[in-house]
Amino acid sequence: MVSAPARYISYMSGGVEIRRPIREEGQEGWVPTFEEIPVISFKDIDGTLQERMKLAGVVGRACRDVGFFYAKDVDLPPTLIADTFKVIESFFALPEEEKMTAHWHKSPACRGYEPFSESRLGTDATKDIRESISIGDDYLDEEQNYRGVIPPGTRPQNCWPTSFPRLREGLYEYYRHVYPFARKLLRIFALALGLSEDAFESQHKFPITGMRALHYPPQEPEEDTPGLNPHSDFSFFTMVCQEPDSKPALEVLNLNGKWISAPPIQGAVFTCNIGDFLEVASNHVFTSTVHRVYNRSGERRWSLPFFFSPDPDAVIQPLPNFIGEEGPKFPPMLVGQHYVRRVLNSRIHHPSAKFVRKHNIPMEKWHYG
């Protein structure tokens, strides 16, 4: 037996720093774990209950063993992805002052354009090497008010560039097709956990959604700072669309502390992963797996994660079905509050973050919206 590992990987999860040992095969504590990301066909997502149960079985295995899977055979218009990335690339190619018209400090929810070096998701003082523009649930955007109901107290959240309407059109075209798929996936996750198909519906009436278009310029191979620091997602689940022709950059941490590459795969439109809220609801039956981005390909990279989280006022806690003798592994979480903590703690220069610091407002009093 080789001696205990000397190296560790650290990352943020649920607002706390986690350290994980890196173990080589043969070392004490080494466990069998995944070495690749499963690829799953979703051709039967609208099939019979029997077909959906079968699909859920495959999805469940991936969520238990890996926390990540590729979704292929997703029914989307043929040019949707190419058109969406054309718009995203054109947005990031705009002069800085035009992008800054959508600056994220203007949005109470930290939505909008985040220039290079203004955010950090990790544990150290280094800056992430990327720029991004985020939008999310905002029922005041007419494109999202498809139910004709605006939840009481809703304030505008999104922040659009003033001189590039194509971004809004393009992202909403994407949202219009991807949101319904996310809702179907929510039902598959319920089946995969042996619950009734609608088990999660009541906590996702007005889900917190987020789309973040990301641009990672190439980084030097010897550059230590990742494009996106190791993290788990504070979502129920996430569907990342990696630009189809882009080079490998996304990496997923396995149980032995080894980074497994998750490159874009032909025909698999989404790289999906479980987020913290679903990990909690399943009492860690499903794993919210840590991942990071290192763009050492020498080429620019664009990606578009779609985050799907429960209603801000939902309380997520381990469901009775999954509480064994060990009891619940997590305390209950008020979704909006957890979400705001994760967002503001990693965006210390946002006016809302400065405000709560200046006025010493305790985290218990921070709220979503």
Ligand X SMILES: O=C(O)CCC(=O)C(=O)O
- The number of CA neighbours under 13 Å toward the Cβ of 239 is 21
Q: Of residues 171, 191, 250, 335, which one binds ligand X by CB under 6 A? A: 250
Residue 228's binding partner among ligand X, Fe ion, none (Cβ under 5 to 8 angstroms by kind) is ligand X
Q: Which of residues 213-242 bind Fe ion (CB under 5 A)?
A: 233
Q: Is 269 in the site for ligand X (CB under 6 A)?
A: no
Q: Is 65 in the site for Fe ion (CB under 5 A)?
A: no
Closest CA to 302 of 110, 105, 170: 170
Give the phi and the psi of residue 176 in degrees, each rounded to 5: -60, -35
Binding mask 175-214 for Fe ion (x = CB under 5 A): ----------------------------------------
**SS3 state of residue 343:** helix
Minimum CB distance to Fe ion smaller for 128 or for 233: 233
Cβ neighbours of residue 88 under 8 Å, at least 6 residues apart?
167, 170, 213, 215, 302, 304
CA torsion, points 61, 64, 68, 69, in degrees to nearest 10? 10
Minimum CB distance to Fe ion smaller for 262 or for 344: 262
Q: Is 343 in the site for ligand X (CB under 6 A)?
A: no
Kindly give the interhelix angle for 165-192 and 49-65, rounded to the nearest 10 degrees.
100
Q: Is 111 in the site for ligand X (CB under 6 A)?
A: no
Residue nearest to Fe ion (CB): 233
Closest CA to 13 of 218, 225, 275, 227: 275
In angstroms, give the least distance from the CB of 358 to Fe ion. Answer: 30
Q: Of residues 12, 185, 240, 280, which one binds ligand X by CB under 6 A? A: 240
Residue numbers at the binding site for ligand X (CB under 6 A): 212, 214, 228, 233, 240, 242, 250, 291, 293, 303, 305
